[in-house]
Chains A and B, each alone.
Chain A
Amino acid sequence: MKIVVLVKHVPEPTAVWSFADDQTLDRGALAGRLSELDEYAVEQAVRLVEGGLDAEITYLTVGPPPAKDGLLKALAMGGDKGVHVQDDAIHGSDSLATSLVIAKALEHLGFDLVLAGMASTDAEMSVVPSMVAERLGVNQATFAGALSVDGSTVSITRESDTATVQVSTALPAVVSITDQTDEARYPAFRAIMLAKKKPIETLSLADLGIDPGSVGLAASATRVVDVSPAPARTAGAVVVDDGTGATQLADFLVARGAL
Chain B
Amino acid sequence: MSEILVLAELTPTGVRKATLELLTLARRLGEPSAIVCGDATDDVVARLGEYGATTVYAVTAPEMEQFLSVPKAEAVATIAQRVSPFAVLVTSGPEGKDVAARVAIRLDSGLVTDAIDVVADGSTVTTTQSVVAGSFHVRCEVVRGIPVITVMPNAVTAEAAPAQPTVEGVEVELSDRARGATVTSRTPKHASARPDLADAAVIVAGGRGVGSEAGLGVVEQLADALGGAVGVTRAVSDLHWAPHDLQIGQTGKTVAPGVYIAAGVSGAIQHRAGMQSSKTIVAVNKDPKAPIFSIADFGVVGDLHTVLPALVDEIDKRRA
Contact = CB atoms under 8 A, between A and B. Distances in A.
A221 B282 contact: no
B41 interface: no
Given A225-B126, A249-B282, A161 B189 contact: yes
B300 A17 contact: no
A81 interface: no
Contacts of A249: 282, 284, 298, 300, 307, 311, 314
Contacts of A99: 105
Contacts of B177: 137-139
A169 B176 CA distance: 13
Interface in B126-166: 126, 130-145
A221 B141 CA distance: 9
Contact of B135 (A17, A130, A163, A252): A17
Given A127-B101, A240-B302, A241-B300, A142 B69 contact: yes
A168 interface: yes
B20 to A, nearest CB: 16
Interface residues of B, number: 90
A258 B258 contact: yes
Given A13-B269, A131-B102, A142-B69, A164 B251 contact: no
A162 B250 CA distance: 19
Contact of A221 (B93, B102, B131, B142): B142
Contacts of B138: 224, 226-227
A220 B316 CA distance: 57
A224 B140 contact: yes
Contacts of A173: 180-181
Contacts of A230: 130, 134-137
Contacts of B282: 249, 252-253
B101 A131 contact: yes
A164 B189 contact: yes
Interface stretch (B31-39, B51-59, B110-118): B110-118
User: What bracket does the count of chain A residues touching chain B fall in?
Assistant: 35 or more
Given A236-B299, A249-B311, A134 B183 contact: no
Contacts of B102: 130-131, 134
Interface in B182-211: 182-189, 202
A229 interface: yes
Looking at A140, A165, A247, the one whose CB has the most chain B CB atoms below 10 A away is A140
B306 interface: yes
Contacts of B139: 224-227
B202 to A, nearest CB: 7
Nearest to B234: A179
Contact of B318 (A143, A161, A254): A254
Interface stretch (B21-29, B42-50, B80-88, B287-295): B287-295
Interface string A105-132: 0000000000000110100111110110
Contacts of A155: 184
A128 B280 CA distance: 35
A188 interface: no
A20 interface: no
A94 B110 contact: yes
A232 B301 CA distance: 22
Interface string A43-63: 000000000000000000000
Contact of B300 (A37, A180, A238): A238
A211 to B, nearest CB: 15
Contact of B98 (A142, A162, A220): A142
Contacts of B109: 221
Contacts of B94: 126, 142-143, 158-160
A241 B303 contact: yes
Contact of A127 (B104, B108, B306): B104
B189 A162 contact: yes
A96 interface: yes
A206 interface: no
Contacts of A258: 202, 226, 258-259, 280
A229 to B, nearest CB: 6
A230 B276 CA distance: 11
Interface of B: 11-12, 68-70, 73, 93-95, 97-98, 100-102, 104-106, 108-114, 126, 130-145, 177, 180-189, 202, 226, 234, 238, 244-245, 250-251, 258-259, 269-270, 276, 280-282, 284, 288, 293-303, 306-308, 310-311, 313-315, 318
